[in-house]
Amino acid sequence: MAKEIKMEPEDAIDYVRKNVEVGDILEISYNRIYSPGEVLGITEEDPETGEGLTISLQLNGEMLTDVVDIDLKNIVDELIEMRHIHEDEEIVIEFY
């Protein structure tokens, strides 16, 4: 059974930094986009340019299976929901 958490969108960056690992499944819903996939890599913020935390996902859709990079700092205000699956634990995060 999935554990449900509610948090502010800005807290998503800290959650990903502390809890998401390479190989986890991460499903991100933002704006009108749904991006489900396996985490291939996490790139920390660049101290010089200020670019945000970037997640590389191998999409697991039926039509799209590309690798995408999502900069959480760019989409933080548009986050709707995130589902994080790590080993046998499933966490659903709703943003308000």
Model confidence, pTM: 0.89
Over the stretch 46-65, which tens digit does the pLDDT of each residue have?
888 777 899 999 999 777 77
| Torsion angle (degrees, nearest 10) of CA 42, 46, 51, 55 | 0
Q: What is the mean pLDDT of residues 8-19?
A: 94
Q: 19-58: string of b/e by CB count within 10 Å (b at 16+)?
A: ebeeebbbbbbbeeeebebbbeebeebeeeeeebbbbbbe
| pLDDT for res 52 | 83
Strands 67-71 and 89-95: unpaired
42, two tokens = 């996490």
21-25, 41-45, 80-84: the lowest-pLDDT one: 41-45
